[in-house]
Amino acid sequence: MAITAADVKKLREATGAGMMDCKKALTEVGGDFDAGVDYLRKKGLGAASKKAGRVAAEGIVATTSRGNVAVVLEVNAETDFVSKNVQFVNFVNKLADFILDKRPADVTALSAMIFEGELTVEQTLSQLIATIGENMSIRRFEILETNGVVAAYIHGVGKIGVLVAVEGVADDALQDVARGVAMHVAAVNPMFVSRDEVTADIAERERKILVERALASGKPEAIVDKIVAGQMSKFYSENCLLDQGFVLDADKTVAKAVTEVQAAAKVVAVARFALGEGIEKKVEDFAAEVAAQVNG
């Protein structure tokens, strides 16, 4: 039996499952609508869509490392209770390993890959949503690789995940200092790795603010440039990782801590994910919710 676009649309409207999942379901059951509904229910693909509108800002940030390559991954759920769910944690850990194996270009490409059995990553996640009963989403991931070492650090049981790539001769000492830098990044959250990453526009905007502030405070114009030069140096030391005081040894900058281990070593890339950052979370008013139910 030929499967038409109208058939697929009808099943999608009835179940809320994705177009491709509906097409596959109808193909598998020979076009029978009711059997298609049952097929999707068995796969857990229909129930997931009903939860898709709910805000998922909790979950886990996870990391996985293999030699000189590592991945940091954020998978979200609605409540922090799910971050302790064994099924959810196992899914996230397996997914991190899978990403290192397959190296997908982005989350869209990842979601379409066959993950377990005949199910894609997206379908596997849909089954998990149906099982646990919360909306979930694979939000983002980043892979770092270098010819030296990549250190991974997780802070606060999956609340912050950091990767730091350091070029150099891979050994235990370089790995240790790279992990220290990852801890530093978790704590301080620098805006840039080095001064080279500060664009001319950003530097000029900061300089303009400092000049106007100095003039407004009554400083003589003749010395404003000198004052601002010193303040710009402070701006770099506060916002650029390599110029910051190292949290594990405040007497050194991060750059100094690295080069003391190996003179030619340098931090080349950083990835820092904080769980739920940028997601607008729903503010729960339980008193109002209870009142609405009582009065309703």
Say if residue 41 is in the same domain as residue 65: no
φ, ψ dihedrals at 187, nearest 5°:
-80, -40
Q: Is the pLDDT of residue 291 over 80?
A: no
Report which of 67, 55, 273, 269 is spatially closest to residue 158, judged by C-alpha positions.
273
Give the residue carrying structure tokens 């390559």. Answer: 69
Helix, coil or strand: residue 248: coil
Q: Is the pLDDT of residue 53 over 70?
A: no
Give the residue carrying structure tokens 């100094």. Answer: 256
Whether residue 178 contacts residue 151, with contact meaning beta carbons closer than 8 Å, is answered with yes
Task: Decide if 20 is inside a domain.
Answer: yes
Task: Decide if 156 is inside a domain.
Answer: no
> Could you tell me the CATH number of the domain that includes residue 109?
3.30.479.20
Integer Cα distance of 287 and 165 in angstroms: 48
CB neighbours (10 Å) of residue 213? 14
Final residue of a domain: which of 49, 64, 80?
49
Integer Cα distance of 72 and 141 in angstroms: 6
Final residue of a domain: which of 145, 179, 210?
145
Say if residue 45 is in the same domain as residue 72: no
Read off the pTM: 0.74
Integer Cα distance of 123 and 285 in angstroms: 33
Integer Cα distance of 17 and 26 in angstroms: 12
φ, ψ dihedrals at 242, nearest 5°:
-65, -25
CA angle 45-49-55, nearest 5°? 135
Q: Which residues form the domain of 22? A: 5-49
Report, as an integer, the average pLDDT of 111-126.
92
pLDDT at 217: 86
Q: Are strands 69-77 and 58-66 parallel, antiparallel or unpaired?
A: antiparallel
Whether residue 72 contacts residue 62, with contact meaning beta carbons closer than 8 Å, is answered with yes
Integer Cα distance of 165 and 179 in angstroms: 10
Task: Decide if 284 is inside a domain.
Answer: no
Query: Which of 32-36, 55-59, 155-159 is predicted least confidently?
Result: 55-59
Q: 282: exposed, middle or buried (C-beta count within 10 Å: 0-12, 13-18, 19+)?
A: exposed
Task: Decide if 43 is inside a domain.
Answer: yes
Report which of 290, 276, 277 is spatially closest to residue 82, judged by C-alpha positions.
276
Q: What is the pLDDT of residues 57-76, one digit of tens each?
A: 799 999 999 989 999 999 99
Task: Decide if 35 is inside a domain.
Answer: yes
Final residue of a domain: which of 94, 125, 145?
145
Using 50, 70 and 90 to split pLDDT, how confident is the model at 54?
low
Say if residue 82 is in the same domain as residue 120: yes
Integer Cα distance of 35 and 32 in angstroms: 5
Tally of domains within the chain: 2
Task: Decide if 285 is inside a domain.
Answer: no
Say if residue 17 is in the same domain as residue 96: no
CB neighbours (10 Å) of residue 86? 7
> Could you tell me the CATH number of the domain that includes residue 15?
1.10.8.10
Using 50, 70 and 90 to split pLDDT, how confident is the model at 13?
low
Q: Is the pLDDT of residue 44 over 80?
A: no
Task: Decide if 167 is inside a domain.
Answer: no
Whether residue 128 contacts residue 92, with contact meaning beta carbons closer than 8 Å, is answered with no
